Amino acid sequence: MADMTVAYSPSHGLGEEQSIWFKLTPLLNQENPMQVLAALSDKYAGVVPINLKNHRIVLLSEPAYAERVLVTNADNYTKYFDGLRPIFGKSMITIDGALWQKIRAPQQPAFHPHMFEEYFPYLMSAIDSKMARWAKFASTGETIEMVEETWTLAAEMVCKALFDREMPFNPHFVFSQVKTYTDVMNHKSIRLKNVRGELVEMTGEDTAKAMEVWHSIPDTVMGAGILEHRDKTLLKMLEAAEADPNFPEFDHRQVIDEMKQYLWAGTETTALTLAWSLYLLSQHPEAMERIRAEARAVCGDADPEWNQVQQLTYTKMVIQETMRLFPPIWALIRIAAGDDDIQGHKIKAGDKVVILAYVMHHSPKYWTDPEKFDPERFAPERAKKRVKYSYLPFAAGKRACIGGALSQIENTLALVQLLRRFTPEYAGPVPAKIHATVTLCPKGGLPFRIRELS
């Protein structure tokens, strides 16, 4: 097994000194961070051990290795959330074992496919608000930041569909505060390496302020006007678990933390996917036309009905291909509880294991012409031939994303509705560059101008 040693500055920065994100930053703070990781993975045949002072990080990028960690020996690998605790609290995404199972059970019904019909009108209503906003942008011709736009949309969808509330906060402000915290490049040590001429210190005070804003959001949402007093919402399920006398672990703090989890994990990822898909479509106008043609064929001039959503197959394939090229969660991190042997590669208890979804999604071993935007890869016949676990936008195994199917419906509806009325024109440099934080963001954002179709 080849050994890699990465030097890092020991200075204290945002997040925790021992944080894996902190330690990966020398790799990530590159012009093309994903290419660096892909080249390393290629050189070391899918297993890159990085030896640090007290422990080891092992980067994995073979589907069979991902299967071992996420599925067949999943109980040996616990979730890694150091540094992100202030964002997620003790929500289920961060916990393991029997408690995780117990906390997830009462929430699972909110993500059963039969609930999606219930959510459908609220998703459409959030898209309507977005269209009204875009009509204004089209008339002024101003340049907008697409991730801000799609993040607002995703947040409004979660508030309306899952919580039965209007979105009672300013998402641009709130999410920029969250980003202040989750952007690993804000680490002081990394900034010191930036040769931009100016050093802006991130103080403890800034972090505390960012987190104060974030922590106030669940109460703000709960206190907002109830939309329709629906019985079957995720928030109702969370409240019922809190009220259950046989479930003392599910206290009020748990409800608050679960809401924070949905407001971040359930919005930024969906928003990045939609924003990256609009970027890709701006570079592939023929695919944009195909989405419009599909919408016309399925819905005519009317808005989609719930029973038509499954027929918007090409649109969904565009979203799937976007998540292949730009997986919002590009790295899945676990800690080995005990020793393991992954096809001859020794993993020691305490090793931090990082599954590089991005690298697998771009590997010529598993994808023909991997850098090409080709939604047809996800046509059912071709998708069947895919190597299992080579595509992991939602992870796999029991800890897979609870909201994966919902996000694809959200984004299918958003693409169809937005593109039938508007052409979003990308106004940034091509190709757009990646900024790898906890999520896969566009470097410097994705500026767009909106044109309304006549």
With respect to ligand HEM, which residue has the nearer C-beta, 394 or 426? 394
Q: How many CB atoms lie within 10 A of CB 242?
A: 18
Q: Which residues contact 107 (CB under 8 A, 6 or more apart)?
A: 92, 234, 237, 238, 241, 258, 402
Q: Minimum distance from CB of 96 to ligand HEM (Å)?
A: 9
161 binds ligand HEM (CB under 6 A): no
H helix or E strand, kind and range, residue 145? strand 143-145
Letters for 121-160 (x = contact with ligand HEM by CB under 6 A, - = none) are -------------------------------------x--
The DSSP bridge pattern shows strands 56-60 and 47-51 to be antiparallel
Q: Minimum distance from CB of 176 to ligand HEM (Å)?
A: 20
DSSP per-residue codes, 30-80: SSSHHHHHHHHHHHTTTEEEEE-SS-EEEEE--HHHHHIIIIITGGGEEE-
Q: Minimum distance from CB of 233 to ligand HEM (Å)?
A: 12
> Helices in 80-142 by DSSP H: which ranges?
85-88, 97-104, 113-140
With respect to ligand HEM, which residue has the nearer C-beta, 407 or 423? 407
Among residues 362, 426, 365, the alpha carbon closest in space to that of 32 is found at 362
180 neighbors 210 (Cβ within 8 angstroms)? yes
215 binds ligand HEM (CB under 6 A): no
Query: Using alpha carbons only, how large is the chain's radius of gyration in Å?
Result: 22
Among residues 390, 334, 347, the alpha carbon closest in space to that of 365 is found at 390
Letters for 186-205 (x = contact with ligand HEM by CB under 6 A, - = none) are --------------------
With respect to ligand HEM, which residue has the nearer C-beta, 186 or 273? 273
Q: Which residues contact 451 (CB under 8 A, 6 or more apart)?
A: 138, 422, 423, 424, 425
- In the three-class reduction of DSSP (H, G, I as helix; E, B as strand; rest coil), residue 200 is classed as coil
280 binds ligand HEM (CB under 6 A): no
Q: Minimum distance from CB of 267 to ligand HEM (Å)?
A: 7
- In the three-class reduction of DSSP (H, G, I as helix; E, B as strand; rest coil), residue 452 is classed as strand
User: Segment near ligand HEM (CB under 6 A), from 172-180, 215-223, 306-314, 404-412?
Assistant: 404-412
For residue 334, the cross-strand partners are 79, 353
93 binds ligand HEM (CB under 6 A): yes
63 binds ligand HEM (CB under 6 A): no
With respect to ligand HEM, which residue has the nearer C-beta, 288 or 329? 329
Options 33, 63, 89, 266; binder of ligand HEM; rule CB under 6 A: 266
With respect to ligand HEM, which residue has the nearer C-beta, 70 or 138? 70
By CB under 6 A, the count of residues binding ligand HEM is 25
Q: Minimum distance from CB of 192 to ligand HEM (Å)?
A: 30
> Helices in 171-226 by DSSP H: which ranges?
171-182, 188-193, 204-223
Options 19, 189, 233, 269; binder of ligand HEM; rule CB under 6 A: 269
With respect to ligand HEM, which residue has the nearer C-beta, 183 or 268? 268
Q: What residues between 73 and 92 interact with ligand HEM by CB under 6 A?
A: 92
With respect to ligand HEM, which residue has the nearer C-beta, 19 or 261? 261
247 neighbors 241 (Cβ within 8 angstroms)? yes
328 binds ligand HEM (CB under 6 A): yes
Query: Which residue's CB atom is positioned nearest to ligand HEM?
Result: 403
264 binds ligand HEM (CB under 6 A): no
User: Segment near ligand HEM (CB under 6 A), from 45-53, 193-201, 388-396, 444-452?
Assistant: 388-396
Rounded distance, CA 352 to CA 439, Å?
18
Q: How many CB atoms lie within 10 A of CB 269?
A: 23
For residue 4, the cross-strand partners are 50
With respect to ligand HEM, which residue has the nearer C-beta, 138 or 275? 275
Options 262, 276, 279, 378; binder of ligand HEM; rule CB under 6 A: 262
User: Segment near ligand HEM (CB under 6 A), from 40-48, 119-127, 144-152, 260-268?
Assistant: 260-268
Rounded distance, CA 267 to CA 248, Å?
29
Q: Minimum distance from CB of 273 to ligand HEM (Å)?
A: 4
Residue numbers at the binding site for ligand HEM (CB under 6 A): 92-93, 104, 158, 261-262, 265-266, 269-270, 273, 323, 328-329, 332, 393-395, 399, 401-404, 406-407
